[in-house]
Amino acid sequence: MAKIWFHDVDLDRMNKMSQKTLVTHLGIQLTNMTEDTLEGTMPVDERTFQPARLLHGGASCVLAETLGSIAANMCIDTNEKMAVGQHIEATHIRSATKGHVRGVAKNIYMGKSTQTWRIEIYNDDNKLICDSKIIMAIVNKSSKTTA
């Protein structure tokens, strides 16, 4: 299988770039890369619980969007373009109550103006807890708008 990454990536450097963001607030860490996947972990604790002390579904979506967004941007020339989230969906299959969850992002469509990524999230027992998909819009940096 061909390598999909446009950039050579140093996971330590990528983790440092996320400092002082929601990513580090939730304890998300990039942990592994293959030729076509990006993995990361997130703790299941007071930062990511919902009131019933279960992993919050929104926290799973943050992990999925983080992995999908970073992976999408690693596949393009970020001097000219950027990948931004356009649509995310998640199916919560089971919960997690402790430990960490591990997300695995894999590209399922690589177009010029959009990319689609599937992110599967597993608990410490390697059981699937969330199956998500994100569609990323690929836009020119010059078209970036602010609210």
Residues annotated as part of the active site: 65
| Tokens, residue 29 | 């860490």
Please name the residue ranges forming H helices in 26-145.
57-73
Beta strands in the chain (DSSP E): 29-33, 37-43, 81-92, 100-110, 114-122, 128-140
Closest by Cα among 134, 122, 91, 102 to 38: 102
Query: Residue 135 class from Cβ within 10 Å (0-12 exposed, 13-18 middle, 19+ buried)?
Result: middle
- Which tokens sit at 76? 């393009």
